[in-house]
């Protein structure tokens, strides 16, 4: 009997010949044909919409569908999902509270993925969590740190972290499943993000605006001062809040509405990060309504600085003395980058274009 009836796959519980209990995820028969038909229809529609020009053309529907086609090709490849799980598992060794199930490669192929069975309680099942004696605050802390490590340090994040894909294990660890949607951001793009968030938090709107125009992220027919004012409109309401109430996800959301107003090309990859952040903040807040994201992140950031900065590590303790010190991090990242410049002498491309997305499940295909 399938334990989860998904739109593209079904998951079964099984026992291997070695006696291990596993989850077997199998692609639904006929799913490839269904996708192919749907995509053809979309492509036809997109081509027609683009002919209308104007706003419709700017959104580049055909390009979006082309991305879509690429994603669905990956979507329908469970071997690829297994590879994502295994990469994330390697990275999460550094976060012992966050468990990623092991892949059984001998029983994994394009249409079937076999992984360790998780005997846990879904985070969506709050009553059972409490009954079983779990500490929701501890779980929230683990989740926030694991996500930050993925997004900030590894640049490779699980982009579908809703409560149904997260389990609390009996020993208090969190486990994740469902690696169909992953985001990948390189260091340069992470710096860009840190830089702009830093600008918003400190209220240095003019500087952020200048950076955008210098790097030609914003078409030159726009006015740099107007861009700075738009940034201010996003930053000021947030700056008045206690750190505890600042939502990075909402901040990014405001930022992306600016990119639309100023004709910056659509960036589906960054939207994925923003969406995931909002989702992850939501899951964490549901577990612990009093959670202070920045304080939760502090010990983790401290550790990160220690390992990244090496000989400069002795600064870390003093730097991260207060939560406010979070604002220093963009500078530190810059120093790290100066110390380890990217190979080759090619001029740096705009950071956003370097963000690679590994998405295997379009939203409309989800249950």
**75 and 365 Cβ atoms separated by less than 8 Å:** yes
Q: Smallest gap, in angstroms, from Cβ of residue 323 to Mg ion?
A: 34
CA distance linking residue 274 with residue 249, whole number of Å: 5
Partner interacting with residue 271 (select from ligand ADP, Mg ion, none; CB below 5-8 Å by kind): none
Stretch 148-177 residues interacting with Mg ion (CB under 5 A): 165
- The residue whose two tokens read 């968030």 is 197
Q: Active-site positions? A: 160
Partner interacting with residue 355 (select from ligand ADP, Mg ion, none; CB below 5-8 Å by kind): none
Q: Smallest gap, in angstroms, from Cβ of residue 151 to ligand ADP?
A: 21
Q: Smallest gap, in angstroms, from Cβ of residue 162 to Mg ion?
A: 8
Q: Smallest gap, in angstroms, from Cβ of residue 41 to ligand ADP?
A: 23
Q: Smallest gap, in angstroms, from Cβ of residue 169 to ligand ADP?
A: 11
Q: Is 81 in the site for Mg ion (CB under 5 A)?
A: no
Sheet holding 156-158, edge to edge: 156-158, 181-184, 356-359
Q: Tell me, by CB under 5 A, how many residues bind Mg ion.
A: 2
Q: 3-class DSSP state for residue 191?
A: helix
CA distance linking residue 215 with residue 167, whole number of Å: 43
Concatenated DSSP letters of 220-287: TTS-HHHHHHHHHHHHHHHHTS-GGG--HHHHHHHHHHHHHHTTPPP-HHHHHHHHHHHHHHHHHHHH
Nearer CB in complex with ligand ADP: 8/196: 8
Nearer CB in complex with ligand ADP: 84/267: 84
CA distance linking residue 139 with residue 339, whole number of Å: 36
Partner interacting with residue 118 (select from ligand ADP, Mg ion, none; CB below 5-8 Å by kind): ligand ADP
Can you tell me which of 81, 154, 178, 281 binds Mg ion, judged by CB under 5 A? 178
Nearer CB in complex with ligand ADP: 76/248: 76
Q: Are strands 174-176 and 166-168 parallel, antiparallel or unpaired?
A: antiparallel
List residues binding ligand ADP (CB under 6 A).
Answer: 3-4, 6, 9, 11, 23, 25, 101, 115, 117-118, 164-165, 177-178, 180
Q: What is the DSSP letter of 8?
A: S
Nearer CB in complex with ligand ADP: 9/76: 9
Nearer CB in complex with ligand ADP: 106/221: 106
**88 and 100 Cβ atoms separated by less than 8 Å:** yes
Concatenated DSSP letters of 59-102: T-HHHHHHHHHHHHHHHT-HHHHHHHHHHHHHHGGG-TTEE-PP
Residue ranges that bind Mg ion, judged by CB under 5 A = 165, 178
């Amino acid at each position: 009997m399938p334990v989860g009836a998904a739109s593209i796959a079904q998951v079964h519980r099984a026992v291997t010949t070695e006696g291990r209990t596993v989850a077997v995820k199998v692609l639904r028969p006929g799913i490839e044909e269904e996708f192919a038909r749907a995509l053809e229809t979309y492509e036809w529609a997109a081509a027609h919409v683009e002919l209308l020009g104007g706003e419709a053309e700017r959104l580049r529907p055909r390009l979006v569908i082309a991305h879509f086609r690429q994603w669905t090709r990956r979507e329908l490849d469970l071997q690829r999902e297994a590879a994502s799980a295994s990469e994330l598992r390697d990275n999460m060794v550094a976060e012992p509270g966050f468990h990623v199930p092991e892949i059984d490669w001998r029983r994994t192929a394009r249409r079937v993925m076999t992984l360790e069975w998780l005997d846990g309680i879904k985070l969506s099942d709050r009553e059972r969590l409490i009954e079983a004696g779990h500490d929701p605050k501890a779980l929230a802390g683990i989740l926030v740190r694991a996500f930050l490590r993925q997004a900030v340090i590894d640049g490779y994040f699980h982009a579908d972290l809703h409560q149904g894909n997260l389990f609390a294990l009996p020993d208090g660890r969190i486990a994740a499943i469902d690696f169909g949607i992953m985001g990948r951001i390189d260091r340069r793009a992470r710096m860009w993000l840190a830089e702009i968030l830093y600008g918003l938090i400190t209220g240095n709107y003019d500087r952020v605006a200048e950076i955008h125009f210098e790097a030609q992220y914003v078409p030159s027919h726009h006015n740099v001062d107007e861009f700075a004012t738009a940034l201010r409109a996003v930053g000021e309401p947030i700056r008045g809040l206690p750190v505890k109430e600042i939502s990075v996800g909402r901040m990014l959301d405001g930022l992306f509405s600016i990119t639309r107003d100023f004709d910056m090309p659509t960036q589906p990859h960054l939207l994925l990060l923003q969406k995931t952040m909002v989702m992850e903040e939501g899951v964490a807040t549901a577990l612990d309504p009093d959670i202070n994201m920045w304080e939760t992140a502090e010990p983790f950031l401290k550790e990160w600085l220690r390992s990244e900065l090496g000989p400069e590590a002795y600064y870390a303790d003093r730097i991260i003395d207060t939560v406010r010190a979070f604002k220093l991090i963009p500078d530190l990242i810059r120093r790290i980058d100066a110390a380890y410049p990217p190979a080759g002498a090619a001029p740096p491309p705009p950071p956003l274009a370097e963000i690679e997305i590994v998405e295997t499940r379009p939203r409309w295909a989800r249950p």
